[in-house]
């Protein structure tokens, strides 16, 4: 998998810690990680958790990445924002047990973590173990294993329902506040990674035109 890390402004100073932990554990499982920032709270380009939800949907819908790791102070806002957009199934993950069960039972493509609440001494150890368990097995294996078939069936039902309850992303991009959209994507790392990796010509063309207006 190609995994994107996206940090919002309140917890951006933890980006390097999170990135190093995520990269270490993801690469052990054969995955790659792309760091979409923010890199510090002083970055000229500021991202909110709402914008990160939008970015997660853009990256996953266009298959620029296969999985997104994001978060905020509590992780709750980031989870809500991510699940507000199409093609994102985001879980709120606080520990290794959450991570393992989310991957095996819910088979999602995004996690939102708390990077302030209960984030104290030893938190980097929890990060390492959480990412280790998240990527320890292929997603969707089921837990317990004899529940794998009904759990996969429920995931399929959810995916089909989301197609009805969410508008296509390109329609959302065209109808939403264009200043908000442009503010979310107008920074070097997004331009460098997204346009190289996106598999959607339609969305790529729309965002390229917006950035160059």
pLDDT digits (tens, 9 = 90+) for 189-207: 999 999 999 999 999 999 9
CATH number, residue 18? 3.40.1400.10
Owning domain of residue 190: 2-211
Query: Where do runs of H (alpha helix) occur along 29-122?
Result: 49-61, 76-83, 96-101
Distance from C-alpha of 26 to C-alpha of 33, rounded to nearest angstrom: 7
Distance from C-alpha of 167 to C-alpha of 3, rounded to nearest angstrom: 24
Task: Give the three-state DSSP class for 113.
Answer: strand
Residues whose CB falls within 8 Å of the CB of residue 58, separated by 6 or more in sequence, listed in order: 64, 169, 173, 185, 194, 203, 207
Query: Where do runs of H (alpha helix) occur along 84-119?
Result: 96-101
On whether the CB atoms of residues 63 and 69 are closer than 8 A, the answer is no
Residue 91 has pLDDT above 90, yes or no: yes
Q: Which helix (H) or strand (E) holds 201?
A: helix 201-211
Q: Is 0.75 surpassed by the pTM of this model?
A: yes
DSSP classification of residue 131 = H
Number of domains in the chain: 1
pLDDT in tens, 11-48: 999 999 999 999 999 999 999 999 999 999 999 999 99
Mean pLDDT to the nearest integer, 45-73: 98
């Amino acid at each position: 998998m190609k995994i994107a890390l996206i940090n919002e402004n309140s917890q951006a100073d933890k980006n390097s810690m999170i990135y190093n932990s995520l990269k270490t554990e993801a690469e052990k499982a054969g995955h790659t990680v792309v760091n979409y920032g923010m890199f510090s709270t002083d970055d000229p380009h500021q991202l909110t958790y709402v914008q990160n939800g939008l970015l997660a949907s853009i990256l996953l819908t266009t298959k620029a990445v296969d999985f997104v790791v994001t978060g905020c102070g509590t992780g709750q806002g980031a989870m809500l924002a991510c699940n507000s957009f199409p093609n994102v199934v985001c879980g709120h993950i606080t520990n290794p047990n959450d991570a393992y069960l989310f991957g095996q039972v819910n088979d999602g493509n995004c996690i939102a973590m708390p990077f302030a609440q209960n984030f104290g001494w030893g938190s980097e150890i929890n990060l390492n173990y959480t990412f280790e368990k998240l990527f320890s097995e292929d997603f969707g294996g089921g837990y317990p294993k004899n529940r794998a078939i009904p759990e996969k069936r429920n995931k399929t039902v959810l995916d089909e329902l989301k197609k009805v309850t969410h508008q296509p992303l390109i329609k959302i991009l065209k109808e939403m506040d264009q200043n908000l959209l442009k503010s979310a994507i107008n920074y070097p790392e997004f331009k460098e990674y997204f346009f190289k990796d996106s598999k959607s010509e339609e969305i790529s063309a729309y965002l390229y035109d917006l950035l160059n207006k």
